[in-house]
C-alpha cells in the first residue's frame, strides 16, 4: 500500500517539474524576443538622421509633424516587430536629426523620460510618398 502512496507524489512532482520547465522556457523565449526587438530598433550608432532611418529601417509605418512645448518635430512610427504592443517611435528635429526614440509606444510611451508621447501634439500626417531617400 505504501508503494501506491509514493507513486502519486512522484507523478505530481514530475508534472510540476515539467510545467515549471515549460514556464521557464516561455519566459526565456519572451525575454530574448524583447531584447532582440529592442536591439533591432535601437538607433544608437546607426541612425542620426531621417535619411539614415530610411536606409537602415526601410519605410516607416506613419510620419507626423508634431509640436511639444512650442518646438516642432517629426515623429516617425517604425514597423512593429515580434510581440511588441506598439511600434517604435523616433522623434526627429525639423532639420532631420534624431532627437530621441521609444522602443515600444504601447508599453513605454516615454521618449526616454524627456516627455510622454501622449503630450506631443500631432499637427498632421505626412504622406509616405513625400519622403525621399538620399
More confident: 2 or 85: 85
Query: Is 108 a residue whose pLDDT tops 70?
Result: no
Could you tell me the residue ranges of all domains in the chain? 42-130
| Digit-coded pLDDT (tens) for 40-62 | 667 777 889 988 888 888 888 88
Angle CA 122–47–97, to nearest 5: 50
Checking if the pLDDT of 93 tops 70, the result is yes
**Local structure of residue 123 (DSSP, 8 states):** E
* Mean confidence (pLDDT) of the chain: 79
User: Above 70 in pLDDT, residue 121?
Assistant: yes
At a CB cut-off of 8 Å and minimum separation 6, what does 93 contact?
Answer: 73, 74, 99
Amino acid at each position: 500500500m505504501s508503494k501506491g502512496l509514493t507513486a502519486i507524489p512522484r507523478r505530481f512532482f514530475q508534472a510540476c517539474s515539467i510545467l515549471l520547465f515549460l514556464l521557464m522556457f516561455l519566459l526565456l523565449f519572451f525575454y530574448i524576443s524583447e531584447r532582440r526587438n529592442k536591439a533591432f530598433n535601437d538607433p544608437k550608432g546607426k541612425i542620426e538622421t531621417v535619411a539614415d532611418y530610411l536606409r537602415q529601417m526601410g519605410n516607416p509605418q506613419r510620419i507626423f509633424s508634431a509640436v511639444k512645448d512650442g518646438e516642432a518635430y517629426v515623429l516617425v512610427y517604425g514597423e512593429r516587430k515580434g510581440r511588441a504592443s506598439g511600434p517604435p517611435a523616433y522623434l526627429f528635429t525639423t532639420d532631420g536629426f534624431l532627437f530621441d526614440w521609444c522602443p515600444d509606444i504601447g508599453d513605454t510611451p516615454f521618449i526616454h523620460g524627456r516627455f510622454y508621447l501622449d503630450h506631443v501634439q500631432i499637427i498632421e500626417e505626412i504622406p509616405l510618398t513625400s519622403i525621399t531617400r538620399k
